[in-house]
Amino acid sequence: MATGVVWPLALSLVVGAIGLFATKMIKSRLIFYKLKKQGLPMPPWSFAAGHLMTLPPLLEKLPLGSQQSDAFSLLSCDFVDTDGCFYVDVWPFGNSLLVITSPELAVQACQKYDLPKPEVLVPFFAPIAGGPNLFVMNGAEWKRSRALFNTGFSEKGMLECMPHVLEEAEVYVSILREHARKGDTFSLDKITCDYMMDVIGAVTINARLHSQSRHNELAAALRSSLEWHFQEEEMNPFKRWNPIRPIVEWNNGRIMNRYINFELEKRYKAWKSNNHTLTKSVMDIAIETYMKERKTSDKLDSRFKTWATTQIRLFLFAGHDSTAAAIVYSLHMLFKHPKTLAKIRAEHDNVLGGDLDSAAQVLKQHPHYINQLPYTTAVIKETLRLFPPASGMRGGLPGVFLQDKNGHKFPTENLSLWIVHSAIQRNPNYWPDPHSFLPERWLVEPGHPLHPPKGGWRPFEYGPRNCVGQTLAMLDIKVTLAMMVREFDVKDQYDEWDRMHPTTGIKTVYGERAYQVPQGAAHPVHGFPCKVSFREKGNAA
């Protein structure tokens, strides 16, 4: 009896799943059939496979595990007549895409039309943030949410957080000193992620996580989810849809929510007991702003707490992950270019005192000095140009067409617009010598051949939806370089890594061994194995 019911039910489910798959496939393919008939730019396409057959030959030109965006950057070279803009059908591994690799078209998508964030981002960010968040919200909901955090992430607010940043930076430097004494090889990316987690914890929720020195369940849960989540770019379906993954992500989310909820209640109680004033962490400012028009109660409003927990999870992710990678790449670029290293050390000597370890004390007394380091800022911006932590995504709309400098028009309806930052920021039509590390680009006047193109630098996006935390990120990176580069020398150990892990095949992207891989934000492959040594006094570079 039971068997007689189960088999028809199972068959119905299978037929339904096949029908749903076929319906979605036909819908996606018809979009591209119409685009192709209009003569719009795209690689060779078929109704059965879309553009899936285009990807393997591209991936063969890149190291195993590198970013898919690098493959699309290579593909953009085939579409120079349309300024690198083209359509790609990668269903069922992703949405129908309009790929954008030029500053002009990116400005149209993100500023002129301010296109919405697409629905496809919601499930992508769900395991990280746990719900609707600033990154995926649109319209009035986004404006209300952004307004609650603007003050907390302002330049003035971030300078007030300087003691927190310096406190964690001193722990980071002490760890580097220990590695310098031992002379061992270690992952710079790993310890920098721990460091930035401690910084963003202090700045965002006013709590010391101590993840640099011991286990912290909030930090561990977030990093675990990121380690599982980067498989979004995995083409192997058995890895991409591992059944264990949602269980791990659910448990990590439970741990993060519990931890943040406790901290929220603690800060709310502190707000009540201090006559409705608090020290100015981002969480404190959000609580104060929210409570201005509400009556005080014994506990924080549950709806606000749920909403705030989601935003804080997003901030913890974005505030530590991409910033850590930017710090590692900034150090890598400096120590690959001795002349640049000598210039930045000279700037730090001039502004922060001549002693190798004077930065922390000077910045404690004069935090605004951090904004008097133009060459350091140029180094960071050039590093982020070459190694942006992510790309942008927008959703197309009916009647919205982008237009390139040659007059070609590109419909956006029913498409996700993938704004590939790495391709835009290395586009040779806009950046002279695009693959070279030239901090001077950021110090020349408009009209100079090296001067950056409008809308061409997008690590924090550009326009109304730019990153709310970019001031904090730049502060963190500048403080770290000020504390580090005069005391230490850093040397990557990829030669040692390759000897210990021999493989065949391509090992560089754009000639760079420390190429980017997707692990939340884009991080240096293998965690950037390196050795740190003490710089000898009197050594200019």
Q: Give the tens place of pLDDT for each residue, 397-420.
A: 999 999 998 899 999 999 999 999
d(CA 389, CA 329): 10
- Return the pLDDT at 278: 54
Predicted confidence band at 526 (pLDDT cuts at 50, 70, 90)?
Answer: very high
**Region 317-342: what's the mean pLDDT?**
96
Rounded-to-integer distance, Cα 263 and Cα 267, Å: 6
**pLDDT at residue 1 tops 50:** no
pLDDT at 300: 83
Q: Give yes or no for residue 79 having a pLDDT over 60.
A: yes
Q: Confidence class of residue 2 from pLDDT cuts 50, 70 and 90?
A: low
Which one has a higher pLDDT value, 244 or 536?
244
**Fold of the domain spanning 26-534:** Cytochrome p450 (1.10.630)
What's the CA gap between 209 and 221, in Å, rounded? 13
Q: 183-187, 213-217, 482-486, 534-538: which has the minimum mean pLDDT? A: 534-538
pLDDT at position 212, please?
96
* Averaged pLDDT, 520-525: 93
List, in order, residues 6 or more apart from 342 with CB less than 8 Å away: 540, 541
Listed ranges 60-69, 159-168, 317-326, 327-336; the one with the highest mean pLDDT? 327-336
The phi, psi pair for 434, rounded to 5°, reads: -65, -25
- Answer whether 423's CB lies under 8 Å from 101's CB: yes
pLDDT of residue 541: 45
What pLDDT was estimated at residue 540?
45
Class of residue 427 by CB neighbours under 10 A (exposed 0-12, middle 13-18, buried 19+): buried
Beta strands 96-100 and 416-419, pairing class: parallel
- pLDDT at residue 320, rounded to an integer: 92
User: Which segments of 126-205 are extended strands (E)?
Assistant: 186-187
Percent pLDDT > 70 in the chain is 94
- Residue partners of 450: CB distance under 8 A and separation at least 6: 432, 438, 440, 441, 444
Range from 120-129, 194-203, 246-255, 425-434 carrying the lowest mean pLDDT: 120-129
CB-based contacts of 38: which residues, under 8 Å, 6+ apart?
Answer: none
460-501 pLDDT, tens digit each: 998 889 988 899 999 999 999 999 999 999 999 999 999 999
Token pair listed for 535: 């710089």
Annotated binding site for heme: 467
> Residue 453's pLDDT band (boundaries 50, 70, 90)?
very high
Q: Write out the DSSP string of 284-319.
A: HHHHHHHHTTS---SS--HHHHHHHHHHHHHHHHHH
Q: Which residue has the higher pLDDT, 481 or 121?
A: 481
Average of per-residue pLDDT across 147-169? 86
- Which of 68-72, 286-290, 353-357 shows the lowest per-residue confidence on average (mean pLDDT)? 286-290
Please give the share of the chain, as a percent, with pLDDT higher than 90: 64
In the sheet with 529-534, reading across from the earlier edge strand, the strands are 186-187, 529-534, 488-492
Using CA atoms, how far apart are residues 464 and 454, in angstroms rounded to an integer?
15
Among candidates 120, 117, 153, which has minimal Cα distance to 137?
117
- Say if residue 19's pLDDT is above 80: no
Residue 421's closest CA among 450, 474, 462? 462
Instruction: Find the DSSP H helices in 38-120.
Output: 55-59, 68-76, 103-107
Q: Which residue has the higher pLDDT, 149 or 436?
A: 436
For 343-383, how does the pLDDT look when each residue is reduced to its tens digit (9 = 90+)? Answer: 999 999 999 998 888 999 999 999 999 999 999 999 999 99
d(CA 286, CA 264): 10
How does the average pLDDT of the chain come out, rounded? 90
Q: How far apart are CA 518 and CA 515, in angstroms?
A: 10
Q: Is the pLDDT of residue 21 over 80?
A: no
Is the model's pLDDT at 179 over the cut of 80? yes
pLDDT of residue 91: 87
Q: Are 109 and 100 in contact (CB under 8 A)?
A: yes
pLDDT digits (tens, 9 = 90+) for 221-275: 999 988 887 654 455 565 566 788 889 999 999 999 999 999 988 888 888 887 6
Cβ-contact 306, 265 below 8 angstroms = no
Cα–Cα dist 494/530, whole Å = 8
What span, in angstroms and rounded, lies between the C-alpha atoms of 55 and 71? Answer: 7
